[in-house]
Chain A
Amino acid sequence: MSDLGTPVRAQDVTLAYRGRPALAGVSFELGPGVTGLLGPNGAGKTTLLRVLATAIAPSSGSLSIGGEDPASAHGRLSIRRRLGYLPQDPGFHLNFSAFDFIDYIAILKEITDRSRRRAEALRVLEAVGLADHRSKRIKTLSGGMRQRVALAAAIVGDPALLILDEPTVGLDPEQRLRFRELIANLGEGRTVLLSTHQTEDVSALCRRVIVLDRGRVKFDGEPAALATVAQGRVWSSAERDSHALAGWRTGLGTFRNIGTPPHAADVLEPTLEDGYLMLLDATAAHGTTA
């Protein structure tokens, strides 16, 4: 594995899906560390990840991953040799044991030496905490365990670029915490792109966040910077404030509001989620690129 990660460079990437632009001129660069990819449903996150994973080719624009162009067969092969991908809905060969499944994936990643493959399968299962369950058939594992098998499959071969599409969906808080640890560790020395709806995951893991909406990049910066989008736009009130774009009762019994606060409002420190909601709401309101 590269201890530098794999640089990813996207320039004006577009992709039309059923006549509708799924990606509309997306540009960004990625380097080592965990980058979060946030966006509402249908924003184009999964499409973007599949483009980066070389599963689909963009309609236009340029893409460079580790210096390779995925438009060429050689480039795709080279990228795939350093890629780990966890799809949004990972399937499993349910009759395989966890070990056999990982072993199978290892072959598909060109790990041909039997003893090395075995060692690698054990290593990744150990990394995701499933070493003790390696002989169990996948169909007997819980949803969280299966998700860990999928992550183990993604990290087989120690890839320098890791693309994770909503890996924490459906996990209970404890499992999610464990996943965060795993992903944080994986982010050391790798380029990790983490698509998620969980802003807490981004806060906890990412040194950088990209917000995608309707196929366009709406934000690209540090999580703290995304939080500042809502600076001075979050306030607390005893009753629901009709001026708020969004508001909800907190555990303390007061309302946390986002929007344009009234005069003398009790302004609160914004979180990344506040910034994200504020950003999307502003986008929805203006219908334009930020």
Chain B
Amino acid sequence: MSSTTTVNRSQTPPTPRTVPGAARRAVIALAAVEAFRLLRHPAVLGAFALYLAPWAYEASTGDAAHRFPVLQDASWSSQPILLVVAAGTLLAANLAALRAQRHGVAALYEVLVLTKGQRTTAHLLSLLPVTVLSGAVAVGRMFYLAGKAGAVGHVQPLEVAAGPLCVLLAGVIGILLARLSTSAAVAPLALAGLGIMSFVAAVNNTASWRWLGLIAIESEIAAPLPADLAGRPAGAHALWLSALAVLLAVVALMRSGVRSLTLKATGSLALVAAVAAAGVQLGGVPASTLRARAEATRHPVKYETCSTIGNVSYCSFPDFSGWGAQWAHVAQGILSRTPPDVSTAHYFIRQRIFSGGDAGTPLPPPLSTWQQDDLAAHTPDAVTVGTDWGEGSAAGDRSSDAVIDFAAEFAFRVVTGKVPGQSRLTMLCRSPSVLVLWLAAQSTAGTQDAFMSMVRRSSGGLSLPLLGSAAGLTFNAREEALVLDLLHRPAGEVAARVRASWAELAASATSTDRAAEILGVPAPDRALAEGSRC
């Protein structure tokens, strides 16, 4: 028996039809299909829903928490929530890149025209739409916040870009993992690792190494800074994320069998860029920025511009000038309850920054330096206002506390004619304490909400630290109780009594009982004054 049979063939078979650029177009077509599937993946859809749901809730409930956004802080604050989208993208991209193995189609795929490298390229390209969509929602969020009447500061585009870049990087990691292991369990494990890393970075929010993670957020208790004093290496971080994404994409392609010179050159460039970006990030806040920040802390006069509304001048860092009307609203709310000689005096408000309260134990602010500068700038006894502002109805957060802090500082200035000058908390006693606290609390709906919130969170009196420092004002529980009672009475009626007996009420010798008598309310229980340092 013959082992072979010759098949006679005289004709030459035609060359298979090939179209120039067909492979490139096929990669793009595949990327489009994969992108569409990625966007429809439950993990990605769910992540976007998680991103948008709180936003929709905010919008539907009036969004009191974000009525006065500081846009440079809002820029980096947009990053953490996009990590949810990044997580969804990592999982979905990993499953997509593993689909052939998971579904047993690899044997077929390996003999089709598009190579594994080209399929990997398509998967990598498929990440672009979800990245662009993430960018669109992040930019949309910034437009939404920037459109608020109370928005101040400047959007930092590179900070906003970090969120979408995290989404891109996470997707690339998902694809790379698929090329390193065919197990679908690896991606969730990697995701858990990234989650832990991000958590540790968030906890260590002053360490420069945290910038080597996906995002770097600031301390929750740190007040916003003017944009040029922030010292966040946003550009280096965007480069870091981009370079990592490119580098890991190159590794994924090499794992898929691509070995071109261009790819190796791209990988080398990305590596150099990543190392350079890491170097900049690990350098921490530049010394020049730290110097400028210290200078702005001690001598804000040099950096600020002032404007006058009525008989009050407001000096602020340029980024925050938009809040002048808000401060004026509170100031007028206080002055409107005072006698004419008090309400027509000239007052000065000065914005200041101080980070001495961020590290746990509050530090004293440079009060004497501030006072000297204010004198030199012809803004004596300027009342301090910080870089936070909030709506009282969103009471309980740092920004709403800032409203009552400022109102109390201003009321103290109006009642006593001076600003707190002690490096520790200044205890207010007797009648002036009642007067200051009532003036501050009743000023606006926001100050009243913030006051009530603070009362709910306090016991044995109220402390209103100055910019989170060791200085500020403190009030006893008995005077606080009296003010609570006053707030339940018509403000006009109380104001009439205040104007009529201003001098006596403002006198430090006037007792709390006498103040109650003047204001027509019962004196609070004396037991509330136990332990008082008055």
Residues of A bordering B, CB below 8 Å: 2, 4-7, 27-31, 50, 53-55, 66-67, 77-78, 80-83, 85, 87, 89-94, 103-105, 107-112, 114, 117, 153, 160, 208, 216-221, 229, 289-290
20 further A-B contacts with Cβ under 8 Å, apart from A31-B8, A217-B3, A290-B1, are: A2-B14, A27-B3, A31-B7, A55-B111, A80-B111, A89-B104, A90-B108, A91-B108, A92-B103, A109-B113, A110-B18, A110-B22, A110-B23, A112-B28, A112-B29, A117-B29, A208-B5, A218-B1, A220-B2, A221-B5
State the CA gap A4–B179 with chains docked (Å): 40
Residues of B within 8 A of A31 (CB): 7-9
Residues of A within 8 A of B60 (CB): none
Contact B113 A67 (CB under 8 A): no
Contact A85 B4 (CB under 8 A): no
B287 within 8 A of A: no
Residues of A within 8 A of B119 (CB): 108
Most buried by B among A78, A82, A107, A221: A107
Give the shortest distance, in Å, between A225 (CB) and chain B (any CB). 8
Give the shortest distance, in Å, between A67 (CB) and chain B (any CB). 7
Residues of B within 8 A of A4 (CB): 9, 11, 13-14
B30 within 8 A of A: yes
B136 within 8 A of A: no
Residues of A within 8 A of B26 (CB): 107-108, 110-112
Contact A80 B113 (CB under 8 A): yes
B residues contacting the other copy or chain, number (CB 8 A): 41
* Among A29, A53, A112, A229, contact of B6 (Cβ-Cβ < 8 Å): A29
State the CA gap A29–B8 with chains docked (Å): 9
* Among B4, B9, B103, contact of A7 (Cβ-Cβ < 8 Å): B9
State the CA gap A29–B6 with chains docked (Å): 6
Residues of A within 8 A of B25 (CB): 110, 112
State the CA gap A225–B533 with chains docked (Å): 117
- Residue pairs across A and B with Cβ atoms less than 8 A apart, 5 shown, are A2-B13, A93-B99, A93-B103, A109-B112, A229-B1
Chain B positions 311-343 with a Cβ under 8 Å from a chain A Cβ: none
With A94-B103, A219-B1 in contact, is A7–B108 under 8 Å at CB?
A: no
* Among A29, A53, A80, A92, contact of B5 (Cβ-Cβ < 8 Å): A29
With A29-B4, A107-B114 in contact, is A160–B16 under 8 Å at CB?
A: yes
B 9-42 to A, binary, CB cutoff 8 A, 1 in contact else 0: 1011111111100110110111001000000000
Contact A54 B111 (CB under 8 A): yes
B105 within 8 A of A: yes
Contact A87 B113 (CB under 8 A): no
Contact B3 A80 (CB under 8 A): no
State the CA gap A105–B7 with chains docked (Å): 32
With A108-B113, A160-B16 in contact, is A91–B107 under 8 Å at CB?
A: yes
Contact B18 A81 (CB under 8 A): yes
Residues of B within 8 A of A92 (CB): 103-105
Contact B105 A93 (CB under 8 A): yes
State the CA gap A107–B114 with chains docked (Å): 8
B110 within 8 A of A: yes
Give the shortest distance, in Å, between A37 (CB) and chain B (any CB). 13
Nearest B residue to A46 by beta-carbon distance? Answer: B107
Contact A91 B104 (CB under 8 A): yes
